[in-house]
Structure 1
Amino acid sequence: MDTMRDRFAPTMSRILDEDPRVVVVLAEIGRDGFTEAARAHPDRVINVGIREQLLVGAGAGLALAGLRPVVHTFASFLVERPFEQVKLDFGHQGLGGVLVSAAASFDWPAGGFTHMSPGDVALMDTLDGWTVHVPGHPDEAETLLGHAVAAGDEKVYVRLSVQQNTSGRDVDGARFLPVRTGGRGVVIAVGPMLDQVLAATDGLDTTVLYATTIRPFDAQAVRRATESAGTDVVVVEPCLAGTSTAAVNDALADLPHRVLGLGVGRRELRRYGGIEEHLAAHGLTAGPLRERITGFLGPAARV
């Protein structure tokens, strides 16, 4: 199976052919996938070299010129390193654009901590008006990239990952999808965490919602789910633990409720290992997730 990142260049190359307003901005990473597109559109595939602050600044400048920039590199170099440019060049100036990251939280453990970015979504959450897509499958990534580019002059962050579910869902770039219905607790699985969550909740009396667009947060879906499943909510995210707990609290502010946020821990894992080993170390595989979910929801969740 191909990965979300494998879909990025072909999807964007097609969009470049179709939409003369779109321009792709790279910082070396991913440039090989755009060799043919660069020949066809030499003025709309721009590689600035290993200069991430310039990468974001150039994207904002292209937006000022009326274009729709799609800016791409690893998450740690796209969100964390040039955060001031994201904040000021796009946000302060009121410009729209699409940031598309790769490597997610720890897709390349051998790259070390410099190439890991579990806090990217939490950092983007400090800024106003950004839509955040976290697809869980290459088909969803392709769909959400299309939504992001077509979103007028809006600010959109698309988080691509090597981690993925076995099958894609019919996502629309807005709503959470009900995947399983139960009467004791709601579990929100974000992007690539769905398969692990479904395995962890197998046989439990819980409702499972699938979220691939987490900003804006689909508060209505959460409220609907709690009407029959109660107001105990667990959020399982492939990024920093607790990233979306405040959004759940806001959604249920007028109701007594409890929230548990599961995700990547703050402690740095200094051994390279592989993706599966990092997932296990952060408690994001089915067994540990089931233990923490049932411990939070209580014996009534077991059927």
Structure 2
Amino acid sequence: MDTMRDRFAPVVTRLLDEDPRVAVVLAEIGADGFAEAARRHPDRVVNVGIREQLMVGAAAGLALTGLRPVVHTFASFLVERPFEQVKLDLGHQDAGAVLVSAAASFDWPAGGYTHMAPGDVALLDTLDGWTVHVPGHPDEAETLLRHAIAAGDDKVYVRLSVQSNQQGLPVDGERFRTVREGRSGVVVAVGPLLDAVLAATEGLDVTVLYATTVRPFDGAALRRATETAGTDVVLVEPYLAGTSTAAANDALADVPHRVLGLGVGRRELRRYGQIEEHAAAHGLDARSLRERIGSFLGAATAA
């Protein structure tokens, strides 16, 4: 199976050919995938070199001229390093762009902590007006990329990962999807963690919601689920643990409830192994998730 990032350059290249508003801004990473597109559209495929702050600033400038810039590099260099430009050049100027990241929280462990960004969604959450897509499969990534680029002049973040579920599901860029119904709790699985959550909750009497768009947070779907499954909620996110806890609390503010936020821990792992080892170390493998979800929801979750 190809990866989400394998889909990125071909999809955006087709959109460059089809839509004269689309532009691409790179900082070396990913440039090879756009070599032919750059020959066909030299004015709309821009590689600024290893200058991530300039990359975001250039994208904002293109947006202010009426173009729809797609900006791509690793998440740590796309959100964290040029955060001031994301905040000011895009946010303060109300300029729209599509930020498309790679490497996610720990997709390339050999690259070390400089190439990991578990705090990216939480950091964007300090800003107003961002839509955040977290696909869990290459098919979903393609759908959400097209949705994001077509979304007028909005500010959109698309978080790509080499981690993937076995099968893609229909996604609409807005709502959570119910994939399992139960009566003793709600588990929200985000993006590529759906398969692990389904394995972890096998035989448990819980509702599982699947989220590939986390901002805006679909509080209405969560409320509907709690009407039959109860108001104990577990959030399982492939980035910093607790990133969406406040959003879930806000959705259920008028009813007694409990929320457990699971995700990447704050403790830095200084021994870089394989992706699966990092997932297990953060308690995001199926076995660990079953223990943590079961402990929180209690024995009543047994079907």
State the Cα deviation string for residues 10-30 of structure 1 (Å, max 9, x = none).
Answer: 000011011000100000000
Deviations 1:248-303 (A, max 9, x none): 00100101000000000000000110100000100000011000101000100012
CA distance in 2, matches of 1:6, 1:49: 21
Structure-2 residue corresponding to 1:6: 6
Matched, 1:274 2:268: no
Q: Say what the alpha-carbon RMSD is for the aligned residues.
A: 0.4
Q: Distance in 1 between matches of 2:146 and 2:161?
A: 17
Q: Write the letter of the residue equivalent to 2:142.
A: E
Distance 2:176 2:201 in 1: 18
TM-score where L is the length of structure 2: 1.00
Quick one: which amino acid aligns to residue 14 of structure 2? R
TM-score (norm 1): 1.00
Q: Which amino acid aligns with 2:71?
A: V
Counterpart check, 1:23 vs 2:23: yes
Gaps of at least 5 residues in structure 2 are none
| Cα distance in structure 1, aligned partners of 2:24 and 2:294 | 45
1:103-133, CA deviations, whole angstroms, 9 ceiling, x for partnerless residues? 0000000000000000000000000000000
Q: Corresponding residue for 1:290?
A: 290
Structure 2 counterpart of 1:86 = 86
Q: Which residue of 1 aligns with 2:73?
A: 73
1:202 matched to 2:186: no
- Partner in structure 1 of residue 175 of structure 2: 175
Matched-pair identity in %:
81
One-letter identity of the residue aligned with 2:301 = A
Summarize the alignment of residues 3-152 of structure 1 with structure 2, pairs less than 5 Å apart.
Answer: 3-152=3-152
Mapped to 2, the partners of 1:221 and 1:107 lie a distance apart of: 30
What CA deviation, in whole Å up to 9, does each residue of 1:191-234 have, x standing for no partner? 00000000000000000000000000001100000000000000
Runs of 4+ in 1 over 3 A off after TM superposition: none
Q: Structure 1 residue 48: deviation in Å?
A: 0.3
Three-state SS of the structure 1 residue aligned to 2:263 is: strand
Measure the CA separation in 1 of the matches of 2:302 and 2:209.
18
Helix, strand or coil for the counterpart of 2:55? Answer: helix
CA distance in 2, matches of 1:302, 1:245: 25
Letter in 2 for 1:142: E
Whole-Å separation in 1 of the counterparts to 2:164 and 2:125: 23
Letter in 2 for 1:123: L
Paired residues in the alignment total: 303
Amino acid paired to 1:250: D
Deviation at 1:67, TM superposition (A): 0.5
Matches within 5 A, 1:219-230: 219-230=219-230
Q: Distance in 1 between matches of 2:256 and 2:96?
A: 38
Q: Deviations over 1:77-108 (max 9, x none)?
A: 00000000000000001111110000000000
Secondary structure of 1:167's counterpart equals: coil
**Structure 2 counterpart of 1:120, one-letter code:** D
Q: Which residue does the alignment assign to 1:300?
A: 300
Query: Once the 2 structures are TM-superposed, how far is the Cα of residue 42 of structure 1 from its aligned partner?
Result: 1.1
- What is the alpha-carbon distance in structure 2 between the residues aligned to residue 176 and residue 229 of structure 1? 16
Distance 1:32 1:116 in 2: 22
The alpha carbon displacement at 1:148 in A equals: 0.4
Structure 1 distance, partners of 2:35, 2:54, is 21
Secondary structure of the equivalent of 1:205? coil
Shift of 1:240: 0.2
Which residue in the other structure is 1:214 paired with?
Answer: 214
Q: Deviations over 1:17-60 (max 9, x none)?
A: 11000100000000111111111111111100000000000000
